[in-house]
Amino acid sequence: MADGLPDSASPLTPPAAKAGGFSLPYVVACGLAMGSADVVPGVSGGSMAFILGIYGELLEAIAGFDLGLLALLRRGAWQAAAARIHLGFLVPLVAGLAVAVLVMVRPITWLYAEHPVFLFAFFFGLILGAILLIARHAHWGVQGLVAMALGVALALLLVTQAPVTMPHDPFTLFWSGAVAIMAMILPGISGSFLLLVLGQYQYVMEGVKGLDLSILLPFAAGCAVGLISFVRLLRWLLHRFHGQVVALLVGFMAGSLWKIWPFRTVLESTRNAKGKLVVLRDALAAPPDAGSLVVALLLAAAGILLVVGIEQLQHRVGVEEMGG
Protein backbone atom coordinates (compact mmCIF):
# COMPACT_ATOMS: atom_id res chain seq x y z
CA MET A 1 0.00 0.00 0.00
CA ALA A 2 1.45 3.35 -1.06
CA ASP A 3 0.44 6.89 -0.11
CA GLY A 4 -2.39 5.56 1.99
CA LEU A 5 -4.18 4.03 -1.00
CA PRO A 6 -5.29 0.38 -1.10
CA ASP A 7 -3.41 -1.93 -3.39
CA SER A 8 -5.18 -3.89 -6.08
CA ALA A 9 -5.52 -7.02 -3.97
CA SER A 10 -7.15 -5.34 -0.98
CA PRO A 11 -10.81 -5.72 -0.09
CA LEU A 12 -13.05 -2.74 -0.83
CA THR A 13 -10.98 -1.94 -3.94
CA PRO A 14 -12.94 0.41 -6.22
CA PRO A 15 -14.43 -1.34 -9.25
CA ALA A 16 -12.46 0.84 -11.63
CA ALA A 17 -9.59 -1.46 -10.75
CA LYS A 18 -11.58 -4.60 -11.40
CA ALA A 19 -14.06 -3.95 -14.21
CA GLY A 20 -16.56 -6.69 -14.76
CA GLY A 21 -15.54 -8.42 -11.55
CA PHE A 22 -18.95 -10.00 -10.83
CA SER A 23 -21.09 -12.43 -12.79
CA LEU A 24 -24.82 -11.79 -13.21
CA PRO A 25 -25.92 -14.83 -11.12
CA TYR A 26 -23.56 -13.80 -8.31
CA VAL A 27 -24.90 -10.23 -8.21
CA VAL A 28 -28.51 -11.47 -8.16
CA ALA A 29 -27.61 -13.85 -5.33
CA CYS A 30 -26.04 -10.94 -3.44
CA GLY A 31 -29.26 -8.97 -3.85
CA LEU A 32 -31.27 -11.91 -2.53
CA ALA A 33 -28.99 -12.15 0.50
CA MET A 34 -29.13 -8.40 1.20
CA GLY A 35 -32.92 -8.31 0.91
CA SER A 36 -33.30 -11.30 3.21
CA ALA A 37 -31.07 -9.64 5.81
CA ASP A 38 -32.90 -6.32 5.59
CA VAL A 39 -36.15 -8.05 6.50
CA VAL A 40 -34.68 -9.07 9.87
CA PRO A 41 -34.91 -6.21 12.42
CA GLY A 42 -31.43 -5.43 13.72
CA VAL A 43 -29.59 -7.05 10.79
CA SER A 44 -28.02 -4.83 8.12
CA GLY A 45 -28.08 -5.45 4.39
CA GLY A 46 -24.78 -3.56 4.38
CA SER A 47 -23.30 -6.41 6.41
CA MET A 48 -24.24 -8.87 3.68
CA ALA A 49 -22.77 -6.62 0.97
CA PHE A 50 -19.57 -6.48 3.01
CA ILE A 51 -19.47 -10.25 3.52
CA LEU A 52 -20.25 -11.00 -0.12
CA GLY A 53 -17.48 -8.79 -1.46
CA ILE A 54 -19.61 -6.23 -3.32
CA TYR A 55 -19.39 -3.38 -0.81
CA GLY A 56 -16.83 -1.34 -2.75
CA GLU A 57 -18.71 -1.73 -6.02
CA LEU A 58 -21.95 -0.72 -4.31
CA LEU A 59 -20.37 2.47 -2.94
CA GLU A 60 -18.96 3.34 -6.37
CA ALA A 61 -22.33 2.78 -8.05
CA ILE A 62 -24.20 4.97 -5.57
CA ALA A 63 -21.54 7.69 -5.76
CA GLY A 64 -22.20 7.90 -9.51
CA PHE A 65 -25.55 9.60 -8.84
CA ASP A 66 -24.26 13.16 -8.98
CA LEU A 67 -24.21 16.28 -11.15
CA GLY A 68 -21.91 14.53 -13.60
CA LEU A 69 -24.65 11.96 -14.21
CA LEU A 70 -27.18 14.73 -14.89
CA ALA A 71 -24.78 16.31 -17.39
CA LEU A 72 -24.42 13.01 -19.23
CA LEU A 73 -28.19 12.52 -19.31
CA ARG A 74 -28.73 16.04 -20.67
CA ARG A 75 -26.28 15.30 -23.50
CA GLY A 76 -28.00 12.00 -24.23
CA ALA A 77 -24.84 10.04 -23.41
CA TRP A 78 -26.82 7.05 -22.20
CA GLN A 79 -24.02 4.51 -22.34
CA ALA A 80 -21.64 6.72 -20.36
CA ALA A 81 -24.41 7.46 -17.85
CA ALA A 82 -25.11 3.74 -17.40
CA ALA A 83 -21.40 3.06 -16.87
CA ARG A 84 -21.14 5.89 -14.34
CA ILE A 85 -23.72 4.29 -12.02
CA HIS A 86 -22.66 0.71 -12.85
CA LEU A 87 -26.15 -0.01 -14.16
CA GLY A 88 -25.26 -3.58 -15.14
CA PHE A 89 -24.44 -4.18 -11.49
CA LEU A 90 -27.23 -2.16 -9.85
CA VAL A 91 -30.18 -3.55 -11.83
CA PRO A 92 -29.65 -7.26 -10.99
CA LEU A 93 -28.68 -6.35 -7.41
CA VAL A 94 -31.83 -4.30 -6.81
CA ALA A 95 -33.93 -6.94 -8.59
CA GLY A 96 -32.58 -9.67 -6.32
CA LEU A 97 -33.08 -7.46 -3.27
CA ALA A 98 -36.68 -6.68 -4.19
CA VAL A 99 -37.51 -10.32 -4.87
CA ALA A 100 -36.00 -11.35 -1.53
CA VAL A 101 -38.03 -8.76 0.38
CA LEU A 102 -41.25 -9.88 -1.32
CA VAL A 103 -40.58 -13.61 -1.02
CA MET A 104 -38.72 -13.84 2.28
CA VAL A 105 -40.69 -11.32 4.32
CA ARG A 106 -43.28 -13.89 5.43
CA PRO A 107 -41.00 -16.81 6.42
CA ILE A 108 -38.40 -14.54 8.05
CA THR A 109 -40.94 -12.48 9.97
CA TRP A 110 -42.56 -15.77 11.04
CA LEU A 111 -39.20 -17.00 12.32
CA TYR A 112 -38.65 -13.64 14.01
CA ALA A 113 -42.00 -13.92 15.80
CA GLU A 114 -42.04 -17.66 16.57
CA HIS A 115 -38.38 -18.76 16.71
CA PRO A 116 -36.20 -15.66 17.21
CA VAL A 117 -33.47 -17.67 18.95
CA PHE A 118 -32.96 -19.84 15.86
CA LEU A 119 -32.96 -16.87 13.50
CA PHE A 120 -30.59 -14.70 15.49
CA ALA A 121 -28.25 -17.56 16.40
CA PHE A 122 -27.67 -18.16 12.70
CA PHE A 123 -27.09 -14.46 11.94
CA PHE A 124 -24.85 -14.16 15.01
CA GLY A 125 -22.60 -16.87 13.58
CA LEU A 126 -22.74 -15.29 10.13
CA ILE A 127 -21.60 -11.87 11.39
CA LEU A 128 -19.02 -13.38 13.77
CA GLY A 129 -17.49 -15.42 10.96
CA ALA A 130 -17.36 -12.35 8.73
CA ILE A 131 -15.62 -10.33 11.44
CA LEU A 132 -12.93 -12.97 11.85
CA LEU A 133 -12.24 -13.19 8.11
CA ILE A 134 -12.52 -9.51 7.20
CA ALA A 135 -10.37 -8.47 10.18
CA ARG A 136 -7.38 -9.92 8.34
CA HIS A 137 -7.50 -6.93 6.00
CA ALA A 138 -7.73 -4.18 8.62
CA HIS A 139 -4.83 -2.06 9.84
CA TRP A 140 -4.09 -3.29 13.38
CA GLY A 141 -1.68 -0.62 14.54
CA VAL A 142 -2.72 1.91 17.15
CA GLN A 143 -4.89 3.79 14.65
CA GLY A 144 -6.68 0.62 13.59
CA LEU A 145 -7.36 -0.44 17.17
CA VAL A 146 -8.71 3.01 18.01
CA ALA A 147 -10.90 2.91 14.88
CA MET A 148 -12.29 -0.51 15.80
CA ALA A 149 -12.98 0.59 19.38
CA LEU A 150 -14.77 3.66 18.04
CA GLY A 151 -16.85 1.47 15.71
CA VAL A 152 -17.82 -0.85 18.58
CA ALA A 153 -18.73 2.09 20.82
CA LEU A 154 -20.83 3.85 18.17
CA ALA A 155 -22.63 0.63 17.22
CA LEU A 156 -23.45 -0.13 20.86
CA LEU A 157 -24.63 3.44 21.38
CA LEU A 158 -27.02 3.10 18.45
CA VAL A 159 -28.38 -0.41 19.05
CA THR A 160 -29.02 0.11 22.78
CA GLN A 161 -31.13 3.23 22.39
CA ALA A 162 -34.79 3.08 23.41
CA PRO A 163 -37.33 4.57 20.97
CA VAL A 164 -38.08 8.26 21.48
CA THR A 165 -41.12 10.35 20.67
CA MET A 166 -40.45 12.66 17.72
CA PRO A 167 -42.71 14.90 15.60
CA HIS A 168 -43.69 13.81 12.09
CA ASP A 169 -43.19 17.13 10.30
CA PRO A 170 -41.46 17.18 6.88
CA PHE A 171 -38.11 18.39 8.28
CA THR A 172 -37.99 15.58 10.86
CA LEU A 173 -38.95 13.04 8.19
CA PHE A 174 -36.20 14.41 5.94
CA TRP A 175 -33.35 14.07 8.44
CA SER A 176 -34.73 10.77 9.77
CA GLY A 177 -34.53 9.38 6.24
CA ALA A 178 -30.97 10.70 5.87
CA VAL A 179 -29.86 9.16 9.17
CA ALA A 180 -31.58 5.82 8.51
CA ILE A 181 -30.13 5.40 5.02
CA MET A 182 -26.62 6.33 6.19
CA ALA A 183 -26.90 3.67 8.88
CA MET A 184 -28.23 1.15 6.39
CA ILE A 185 -25.11 1.40 4.19
CA LEU A 186 -22.86 0.69 7.19
CA PRO A 187 -22.24 -2.98 7.98
CA GLY A 188 -23.80 -3.93 11.30
CA ILE A 189 -26.29 -1.07 11.69
CA SER A 190 -29.95 -1.55 10.75
CA GLY A 191 -31.63 1.47 9.19
CA SER A 192 -35.08 0.18 10.13
CA PHE A 193 -33.95 -0.12 13.74
CA LEU A 194 -32.80 3.51 13.74
CA LEU A 195 -36.19 4.58 12.38
CA LEU A 196 -37.72 2.72 15.31
CA VAL A 197 -35.38 4.55 17.71
CA LEU A 198 -36.34 7.89 16.14
CA GLY A 199 -40.03 7.10 16.53
CA GLN A 200 -40.64 7.20 12.77
CA TYR A 201 -40.81 3.51 11.80
CA GLN A 202 -44.55 2.90 12.11
CA TYR A 203 -45.42 6.33 10.68
CA VAL A 204 -43.23 5.81 7.61
CA MET A 205 -44.49 2.23 7.11
CA GLU A 206 -48.08 3.49 7.17
CA GLY A 207 -47.09 6.12 4.61
CA VAL A 208 -45.63 3.39 2.36
CA LYS A 209 -48.76 1.27 2.64
CA GLY A 210 -51.05 4.21 1.88
CA LEU A 211 -48.71 5.83 -0.69
CA ASP A 212 -48.98 9.08 1.27
CA LEU A 213 -46.77 11.51 -0.65
CA SER A 214 -46.76 14.02 2.21
CA ILE A 215 -44.78 11.39 4.15
CA LEU A 216 -42.89 9.67 1.35
CA LEU A 217 -41.51 12.72 -0.48
CA PRO A 218 -39.61 14.35 2.42
CA PHE A 219 -38.48 10.94 3.67
CA ALA A 220 -37.27 9.85 0.21
CA ALA A 221 -35.52 13.20 -0.29
CA GLY A 222 -33.68 12.70 3.00
CA CYS A 223 -32.71 9.18 1.96
CA ALA A 224 -31.35 10.41 -1.37
CA VAL A 225 -29.34 13.28 0.13
CA GLY A 226 -28.04 11.17 3.01
CA LEU A 227 -27.08 8.23 0.83
CA ILE A 228 -25.28 10.18 -1.90
CA SER A 229 -23.41 12.51 0.46
CA PHE A 230 -22.45 9.82 2.98
CA VAL A 231 -21.35 7.31 0.34
CA ARG A 232 -19.02 9.88 -1.21
CA LEU A 233 -17.49 10.58 2.20
CA LEU A 234 -17.17 6.87 2.98
CA ARG A 235 -15.62 6.15 -0.42
CA TRP A 236 -13.05 8.93 0.08
CA LEU A 237 -12.18 7.59 3.53
CA LEU A 238 -11.70 4.09 2.09
CA HIS A 239 -9.27 5.44 -0.49
CA ARG A 240 -7.36 7.58 1.98
CA PHE A 241 -7.44 5.44 5.15
CA HIS A 242 -8.28 1.98 3.86
CA GLY A 243 -6.99 -0.23 6.67
CA GLN A 244 -8.32 2.02 9.41
CA VAL A 245 -11.78 2.27 7.83
CA VAL A 246 -11.95 -1.53 7.48
CA ALA A 247 -11.09 -1.70 11.19
CA LEU A 248 -13.88 0.82 11.92
CA LEU A 249 -16.39 -1.24 9.91
CA VAL A 250 -15.27 -4.41 11.68
CA GLY A 251 -15.94 -2.56 14.93
CA PHE A 252 -19.43 -1.65 13.74
CA MET A 253 -20.14 -5.30 12.97
CA ALA A 254 -18.74 -6.41 16.33
CA GLY A 255 -20.84 -3.86 18.19
CA SER A 256 -23.96 -5.00 16.34
CA LEU A 257 -23.55 -8.48 17.83
CA TRP A 258 -25.16 -7.11 20.99
CA LYS A 259 -28.41 -6.60 19.10
CA ILE A 260 -28.48 -10.06 17.54
CA TRP A 261 -27.44 -12.10 20.58
CA PRO A 262 -30.14 -14.81 20.44
CA PHE A 263 -31.05 -14.94 24.14
CA ARG A 264 -32.71 -11.79 25.50
CA THR A 265 -35.01 -10.61 28.25
CA VAL A 266 -37.59 -7.86 27.69
CA LEU A 267 -37.30 -4.89 30.06
CA GLU A 268 -39.97 -2.63 28.58
CA SER A 269 -42.59 -3.12 25.88
CA THR A 270 -45.77 -1.64 24.47
CA ARG A 271 -48.52 -2.43 21.95
CA ASN A 272 -48.76 -0.72 18.58
CA ALA A 273 -51.97 0.40 16.88
CA LYS A 274 -52.60 -3.15 15.66
CA GLY A 275 -52.12 -4.67 19.08
CA LYS A 276 -48.73 -6.21 18.32
CA LEU A 277 -46.07 -6.28 21.02
CA VAL A 278 -43.23 -3.81 20.43
CA VAL A 279 -40.08 -4.20 22.52
CA LEU A 280 -38.78 -0.83 23.74
CA ARG A 281 -35.85 -2.04 25.84
CA ASP A 282 -34.27 -5.44 26.29
CA ALA A 283 -31.08 -6.95 27.68
CA LEU A 284 -28.83 -9.94 27.11
CA ALA A 285 -29.82 -13.14 28.87
CA ALA A 286 -28.32 -16.56 29.47
CA PRO A 287 -29.67 -19.61 27.58
CA PRO A 288 -32.73 -20.98 29.39
CA ASP A 289 -31.53 -24.57 29.15
CA ALA A 290 -28.78 -26.76 27.71
CA GLY A 291 -30.89 -27.80 24.72
CA SER A 292 -31.45 -24.22 23.61
CA LEU A 293 -27.74 -23.53 23.95
CA VAL A 294 -26.79 -26.54 21.82
CA VAL A 295 -29.25 -25.60 19.07
CA ALA A 296 -28.02 -21.99 19.09
CA LEU A 297 -24.39 -23.10 18.91
CA LEU A 298 -25.14 -25.42 15.98
CA LEU A 299 -26.95 -22.66 14.08
CA ALA A 300 -24.16 -20.17 14.82
CA ALA A 301 -21.64 -22.73 13.59
CA ALA A 302 -23.72 -23.09 10.42
CA GLY A 303 -23.53 -19.32 9.94
CA ILE A 304 -19.74 -19.36 10.36
CA LEU A 305 -19.40 -22.26 7.92
CA LEU A 306 -21.57 -20.40 5.41
CA VAL A 307 -19.20 -17.41 5.57
CA VAL A 308 -16.24 -19.73 4.97
CA GLY A 309 -18.14 -21.25 2.04
CA ILE A 310 -18.86 -17.77 0.65
CA GLU A 311 -15.15 -16.96 0.79
CA GLN A 312 -14.34 -20.12 -1.16
CA LEU A 313 -17.07 -19.28 -3.69
CA GLN A 314 -15.62 -15.80 -4.12
CA HIS A 315 -12.27 -17.27 -5.09
CA ARG A 316 -14.01 -19.46 -7.70
CA VAL A 317 -16.13 -16.70 -9.27
CA GLY A 318 -13.31 -14.17 -9.29
CA VAL A 319 -14.32 -11.87 -6.43
CA GLU A 320 -11.09 -10.79 -4.77
CA GLU A 321 -12.02 -10.94 -1.06
CA MET A 322 -15.04 -10.43 1.12
CA GLY A 323 -15.29 -6.76 1.89
CA GLY A 324 -15.58 -5.86 -1.77
Beta-carbon count within 10 A of 39 CB: 21
- CA-closest candidate to residue 124, choices 184, 3, 42, 65: 42
pLDDT at residue 163 in the model: 65
What is residue 66's DSSP assignment? S
In Å, what is the CA distance from 254 to each residue of 33, 123, 184, 287, 288?
Answer: 20, 12, 16, 20, 24
Q: What does the pLDDT look like over 191-215, one tens digit per residue?
A: 776 777 777 777 787 777 777 888 8
- CA-closest candidate to residue 23, choices 317, 234, 265, 322: 317
For 124-148, letters b (16+ CB in 10 Å) and e give bbbbbbbbebbbebbbeeeebeebb
Radius of gyration of the CA atoms of the chain, in A = 20
Do residues 144 and 243 make contact, with C-beta atoms less than 8 angstroms apart? yes
Q: What does the pLDDT look like over 17-36, one tens digit per residue?
A: 333 467 888 899 899 888 88
Higher model confidence: residue 145 or residue 45? 145
Indicate if the pLDDT at residue 81 is higher than 60.
yes
Q: Averaging pLDDT over each range in 13-17, 61-65, 256-260, which range is the top one?
A: 61-65
Question: What is the distance between the alpha carbons of residues 12 and 42, in angstroms, rounded to a whole number?
Answer: 24
Question: What is the distance between the alpha carbons of residues 191 and 177, in angstroms, rounded to a whole number?
Answer: 9
Do residues 256 and 124 make contact, with C-beta atoms less than 8 angstroms apart? no
SS3 117: helix
Least confident of 37-46, 132-141, 279-288: 37-46
Residue spans of the domains in the chain: they are 15-317
Q: What does the pLDDT look like over 253-310, one tens digit per residue?
A: 888 888 888 898 877 766 666 666 666 677 888 888 888 899 999 999 998 998 888 7
Indicate if the pLDDT at residue 313 is higher than 50.
yes
Assign 152 a pLDDT band (cuts: 50, 70, 90). Answer: very high
pLDDT at residue 52 in the model: 83
Indicate if the pLDDT at residue 7 is higher than 50.
no
Alpha carbon distance, N-terminus to C-terminus of the chain = 17
